[in-house]
Chains A and B, each alone.
Chain A
Amino acid sequence: MKTRRDFIKISALGLGATAAIGGTAKWVFGDPVADFLGDTGDEPAPLKRFPTYCEVCFWKCAGWAHVNEKGSIQKITGNNDDPQCNGRLCPRGTGGVGMFTDPDRLKKPLMRVIKDGKQTYREASWEEALGFVASKMKDIKAKYGPESMALFFHGSSGNHFSHLMKAYGTPNLAAPSFAQCRGPRDVGFDMTFGESVSSPEVTDIRDTKCLVLIGSHIGENMHNGQVQEMSAAIDNGAVIITVDPRFSTAASKSKFWLPIKPSTDLALLLSWIHVLIYDELYNKEYVTQYCEGFAELKEHVKNFTPEWAYPITTIKPDLIRSAAREMANAAPSAIVHPGRHAAWYGDDVQRTRAIAILNALLGSWGNRGGIFFKEGIKLPEFPHPAYPTPAWSWHELNDGKYPLANEAVTNSVVESSIPADGKEAKIKGWFISGTNLIASIPMKEKLVKAMDSLELMVVVDTMPMEITGYADVVFPECTYLERYDDIRATAHREPTLALRMPAVEPQYDSKPAWWIAKQIGERLGLGDYFNYNDYSEVLDWQLKQVGSSLEEMKRIGVKKGTRKTSPYIEPGTVHAFNTESGKIQLYSHELADAGFDAMPVYTPHPGPDEGFYRLIYGRAPMHTFSRTANNPNLVALMPENSVWVNPQVAAIWGFKKNQYVWLKNQDGAVSRFPVKVRLTERIRWDSVYIVHGFGHHHKPLHLAYGRGVNDTELITNIMTDPIMGGTGMRGNFVTFITEDPGKEAEA
């Protein structure tokens, strides 16, 4: 079907040819830069190092980019002074070199044009592409108001475009990391403790005596500081309890593994609350001092015994009780981990509420080995005129739904971009930075419809991700190793500042996000908001306000501050939580007032039909979603995903080891590519597991193309959380197809 916005494969432009990148291409394809490891062990030629913090995931570990004599990045190592990594990057951070050397990177600005009646891209100068975007944005502002532009963002570049959008006049800035990922958790904890657990999470795993993981697979999700701290906790003899239908790596390190029936976690959590209360194992002093609604909670969980939970969860009552006792023995040095990706079944705020309540009953928040109070260094904002006040905001896009969303809901932005009932759509233009929406938001049909209705769609990325094929203009951004970004000033156990500076010049015709934002801003007449020639001026000014300087940070990379407050509740003092009453809300008036359950209630979710298996997805330690799927160093470690199948299930299907199959879901969606079957005892017989981020169908991603399956294509049943709009994605079931359904040819 012909649409206004056809998907364009960037490869059609002759950009696919493998271009040499400085001195590195040689190295990438096999020849060492210098053979310094013969028999002598001689010191290789000296490397110059530049401070950076990693952008391969959101943990943002600080490190050093080491540049060799050929001006190419040889290796990246951690900064010893950074408490988020302690001098040790994870495989993705170490392999961040591949983000820079990847020959498939976007190289020139591209503009959509019609040639011989067919939509295609042509290369454009920055001047032309920037001018086009600015004039379109002016049109949209004049015709519909600035609020009708929306930004989708992920990562550091998002800050620069958020600033641009706010200066332009729109508050509609949406991160898929809210509705598709951490949002339910953040709202659940906010409803209970008055604040979320932040990123990096404020969990005191290093000093804990008991760590409970609810489907959280630390070690497979390589959230560096947490992985390091879990390892330290193992050394210190901490008890780990893992709840997961899959025998995760963390489960293999656990004293208790509860192989739960998927979708029943909330029943288990309620039975734990029951045991803690009715066996009088909860932290009485803490609950009396800090919690509100205990009597209501006690009454609420009266019948949620382990015996009640057993047939639901398939976890034996004895095991439920023993695990609860372990937590209580360790309390308050116990953590029921809040998790991160929490958009599972549509009742996710309530599930994370139950997790938050458990932490409250154990007295974790404010105690060593539980959850600590964070502290950071506040950097003043670089002076700019006040942002204009928008006429309306993203709340209105929710159409009266999701009353407790505290960030813009991506799905609502998508839906609001589709004209309906003869009315104009509220959103007319998208600016997308660092997120491949096609793989991150599981509503492809609506996405495509929305994109087809837009008057302007701009994508900024380093790689030709699928989403670039839908844009009017594609801006090639340089990688994090070639640019300045904001100072990392995350609040955590220790206050720190970290600098990212260019280690090498931007390759090709790529540019840093701050520069792109400034150029568009100036063309929109918003130059006052970008009152600098180079972003280093902003950083130097900010650093000088807090007693440092760019010069100092270039030398040290990371600066630690001294805490002014205690990370824990000090004996003899009373802490006020950030809720209205200062107390932890076991019973949530806020939820009740909005028409939701004030305390979590378990609702059964449908299971698979015969011959179908619940689709569970997760992470592998060497990849970050689809962001790393084409990174040469990381593809070498894990080139494709596989579908984990229990051998008993495989026997029914007659699968052989490493056989390839296609997956089909309950709605008939079929995977575009085949996937290797991994026979393993690590997965339940009612579920299959795949690692997210594979199955790319954009040919310019030469390494990623056609490798494995994309779980997002198979997630067509979305259970939306009515509280905040989270898109629950775990209610999908797949079966196997052993003959080629011919999907790839269609693609």
Chain B
Amino acid sequence: MRYAMAIDTKKCVGCSDCVVACQTENNVPIGFCRDWVTETVDGTYPNVTIELRSERCNHCDNAPCVRCCPTGASHFEDGGIVLVTHEKCIGCGACIESCPYEARYSHPDGYVDKCTFCIHRVRKGEDPACVSVCPTHCMYFGDLDDPNSEIVNVLKNRKFKSLAPEAGTSPQIFYLV
């Protein structure tokens, strides 16, 4: 089992619903976020392109945050989900520094926090909150090891990229372009 996410940049409108849904689902304090939206504008008027991307922890196969964590708080769960055990985290911030995606933040309660792929929902067979709320249906979540899954299907049929592949972390969020 290998959980991953594919996000269609051709459909995303950058509304940030994924950000609010994550916030209310996971009690992320206002002023912090586990996911966010970026807009990249290229070209000169009137020959312009925009790429909108909903970004979050890439739940990397080769996760530097897990490797550098001195207490073992950052660890892998089933399906490759990277989690932080809040009770074990001493808030040293090494993982924050090591993450090429800036996906982690220091929670006011003293631990490091980030996207969990909504593991509490996924274990019940539901999609993560961000995926389930997206009005454009631009996100696909599923198991890369299941050849019949929707995510495998879209990745087979569409061109995609991942972010900062040069970092060698083997990220598991794919952007359909």
B window 134-151: CB within 8 A of A: 134-138
Specify which chain B residues have a CB less than 8 angstroms from the CB of A38 in the assembled complex.
85-87
- A338 to chain B minimum Cβ distance, whole angstroms, is 20
Q: Mark A226-255, 1 if CB is under 8 A from B, else 0.
A: 011011101100000000000101001100
Interface size class of B (residues with CB under 8 A): 35 or more
A705 contacts the other chain (CB 8 A): no
Given contacts A31-B29, A680-B41, contact A231 B138 (CB under 8 A): yes
- B69 to chain A minimum Cβ distance, whole angstroms, is 12
Cα distance A87–B138 in the bound complex, in angstroms: 15
Cα distance A74–B73 in the bound complex, in angstroms: 27
B15 contacts the other chain (CB 8 A): yes
Instruction: Identify which of A76, A234, A681 gathers the most chain B CB atoms within 10 Å of its CB.
Output: A681
A window 701-744: CB within 8 A of B: none
Q: Mark B98-116, 1 if CB is under 8 A from A, else 0.
A: 0000000000110000001
Are B109 and A228 interface neighbours, CB within 8 A? Answer: no
B14 contacts the other chain (CB 8 A): yes
- Interface-located stretch among A90-98, A179-187, A606-614: A90-98
Are A97 and B17 interface neighbours, CB within 8 A? Answer: no
Given contacts A37-B120, A41-B77, A43-B120, contact A681 B17 (CB under 8 A): no
Cα distance A44–B135 in the bound complex, in angstroms: 25
B67 contacts the other chain (CB 8 A): no
Specify which chain B residues have a CB less than 8 angstroms from the CB of A42 in the assembled complex.
120
B153 contacts the other chain (CB 8 A): no
Q: How many A-B residue pairs have CB under 8 A?
A: 165
B window 1-53: CB within 8 A of A: 10-11, 13-17, 19-21, 23-27, 29-31, 33, 41, 43-46, 48-50, 52
- The DSSP consensus for interface residues of chain B is loop
- B110 to chain A minimum Cβ distance, whole angstroms, is 12
Specify which chain A residues have a CB less than 8 angstroms from the CB of B85 in the assembled complex.
38-39
Q: Mark A595-631, 1 if CB is under 8 A from B, else 0.
A: 0000000000000000000000000011000000000
- The DSSP consensus for interface residues of chain A is loop
A666 contacts the other chain (CB 8 A): no
Specify which chain B residues have a CB less than 8 angstroms from the CB of A88 in the assembled complex.
17, 132-135, 137
Question: Could you say which of B17, B48, B88, B108 contacts A682, with CB atoms under 8 Å apart?
Answer: B48
Given contacts A30-B29, A249-B52, A257-B46, contact A39 B83 (CB under 8 A): yes
- A435 to chain B minimum Cβ distance, whole angstroms, is 24
Question: Could you say which of A33, A97, A219 contacts B15, with CB atoms under 8 Å apart?
Answer: A219
A113 contacts the other chain (CB 8 A): no
Specify which chain B residues have a CB less than 8 angstroms from the CB of A681 in the assembled complex.
41, 43-45, 48
Cα distance A29–B27 in the bound complex, in angstroms: 11
Nearest CB to that of A222 among chain B residues? B15
Given contacts A30-B30, A95-B20, A247-B50, contact A231 B120 (CB under 8 A): no
B84 contacts the other chain (CB 8 A): yes
- Interface-located stretch among A120-128, A484-492, A548-556, A633-641: A633-641
Specify which chain A residues have a CB less than 8 angstroms from the CB of B46 in the assembled complex.
247, 257, 259
B window 69-104: CB within 8 A of A: 73, 75, 77, 83-88
Nearest CB to that of A683 among chain B residues? B45
Specify which chain B residues have a CB less than 8 angstroms from the CB of A35 in the assembled complex.
27, 86, 109
Specify which chain B residues have a CB less than 8 angstroms from the CB of A74 in the assembled complex.
24
- A630 to chain B minimum Cβ distance, whole angstroms, is 13
B119 contacts the other chain (CB 8 A): yes
Nearest CB to that of B113 among chain A residues? A37
Are A75 and B24 interface neighbours, CB within 8 A? Answer: yes
- A4 to chain B minimum Cβ distance, whole angstroms, is 41
Cα distance A34–B135 in the bound complex, in angstroms: 28
Nearest CB to that of A680 among chain B residues? B41
Are A249 and B20 interface neighbours, CB within 8 A? Answer: no
Given contacts A37-B26, A222-B135, A249-B50, contact A91 B43 (CB under 8 A): no
Are A637 and B138 interface neighbours, CB within 8 A? Answer: no
Specify which chain A residues have a CB less than 8 angstroms from the CB of B33 in the assembled complex.
636
Apart from A37-B116, A231-B136, A638-B16, 14 more pairs, CB < 8 Å: A29-B30, A30-B108, A38-B87, A39-B83, A39-B86, A41-B116, A94-B20, A94-B24, A94-B133, A224-B135, A235-B11, A235-B137, A622-B16, A636-B33
3 cross-chain pairs, A with B, having the tightest CB-CB distances, nearest first:
A219-B13, A621-B15, A41-B119
A–B pairs, 17, beta carbons within 8 Å: A32-B27, A32-B29, A34-B27, A35-B86, A39-B83, A39-B86, A42-B120, A75-B24, A77-B132, A89-B17, A219-B14, A249-B50, A253-B10, A633-B24, A638-B16, A682-B45, A682-B50
